[in-house]
């Protein structure tokens, strides 16, 4: 516990969000809980929260440096982040560079087909309706976002994809696909929120295509946290590793 934490605002599947003294900021706690299959598979894995917080903070800093607005302010603990408070848009924006997973089950893509331009997909973040896939007209009719806002979300997501794909490829990983969420800040800007971590991406070794992400857990295999630790070691620089006691 830190003294910054106040009232719990929201608890999700792997994170808690707390109020802080400043109404414009929240504290996001990354927990060690991991879930898959619409909450049907659950576990608690020591250090998972810290590794995701470290990886997500690093990605958000890189994206900020490239001019993308993000929620990230600072990490105050290995698993606690101070972030801009946002009015979240209930969309899961999925960006895919390689055809795998459900794309192969639902459509006639070849296994590992390169998707250029990347495939973008919008899911409605809604537990009652089990996150159905949306299209532009449904998003606009439900007043989730306007056509202009959707266009902006597409552009930002493609830029995130380019920046992170390059950063990861230089470190031996392929960004196969990922999910991002956005919100509005108090000035009405569209800002990247939530997290980008091995929980929300597929990361493959560029040579062997071995997974370094939550697919290990989805498949019921061992070594989830060890894989996340590999990612921490690949993305953090020496100074950051020293600061957070990463070997
Ligand atoms: P998903 O659509 O769940 O799997 P599949 O590709 O088998 O259809 O996942 C695609 C990517 O988006 C993957 O990197 C995980 C991420 N994702 C999340 O992190 N959370 C989600 O709720 C969804 C739908 C996807």
pLDDT, tens digit (0-9, with 9 covering 90-100), for 199-243:
999 999 999 999 999 999 999 999 999 999 999 999 999 999 999
> Which of helix, strand or coil describes residue 53?
helix
Protein residue with least CA distance to atom 22, ligand 1: 92
Protein residue with least CA distance to atom 25, ligand 1: 179
Q: Residue 10: which of 130, 178, 183, 150 has the closest Cα?
A: 183
- Closest ligand 1 atom to 200 CA: 19
For residue range 42-99, what is the model confidence (pLDDT) as tens digits? 999 999 999 999 999 999 999 999 999 999 999 999 999 999 999 999 999 999 999 9
Q: How far apart are CA 205 and CA 174, in angstroms?
A: 6
Structural domains for the chain? 2-85 (3.30.200.20), 87-218 (3.30.470.20)
Query: Which H helix or E strand runs over 181?
Result: strand 173-184
Both structure tokens of 15? 């994170």
101 Cβ closer than 6 Å to some ligand 1 atom: yes
Q: How far apart are CA 182 and CA 70, in angstroms?
A: 9
14 Cβ closer than 6 Å to some ligand 1 atom: no
Protein residue with least CA distance to atom 7, ligand 1: 101
118 Cβ closer than 6 Å to some ligand 1 atom: no
Q: Which residues contact 127 (CB under 8 A, 6 or more apart)?
A: none
Do the strands 133-134 and 114-124 form a parallel or antiparallel pair, or are they unpaired?
Answer: antiparallel
């Amino acid at each position: 516990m830190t003294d910054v934490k106040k009232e719990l605002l929201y608890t999700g599947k792997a994170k808690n969000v707390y109020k802080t003294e400043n109404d414009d900021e929240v504290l996001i706690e990354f927990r060690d809980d991991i879930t898959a299959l619409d909450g049907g598979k659950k576990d608690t894995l020591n250090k998972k929260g810290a590794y995701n917080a470290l990886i997500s903070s690093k990605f958000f800093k890189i994206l900020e440096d490239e001019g993308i607005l993000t929620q990230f302010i600072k990490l105050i603990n290995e698993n606690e982040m101070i972030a801009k408070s946002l009015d979240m848009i209930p969309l899961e924006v999925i960006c895919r560079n390689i055809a795998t997973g459900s794309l192969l089950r639902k459509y006639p893509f070849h296994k590992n087909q390169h998707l250029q331009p990347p495939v973008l997909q919008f899911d409605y973040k809604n537990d009652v309706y089990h996150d159905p896939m949306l299209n532009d007209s449904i998003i606009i009719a439900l007043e989730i976002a306007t056509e202009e806002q959707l266009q902006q979300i597409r552009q930002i997501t493609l830029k995130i994809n380019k920046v992170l794909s390059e950063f990861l490829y230089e470190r031996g990983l392929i960004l196969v696909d990922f999910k991002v969420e956005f919100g509005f800040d108090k000035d009405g800007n569209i800002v990247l929120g939530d997290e980008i971590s091995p929980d929300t991406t597929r990361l493959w070794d560029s040579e062997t295509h071995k997974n370094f992400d939550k697919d290990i857990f989805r498949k019921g295999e061992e070594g989830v946290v060890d894989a996340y630790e590999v990612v921490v070691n690949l993305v953090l620089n020496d100074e950051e590793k020293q600061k957070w006691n990463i070997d």
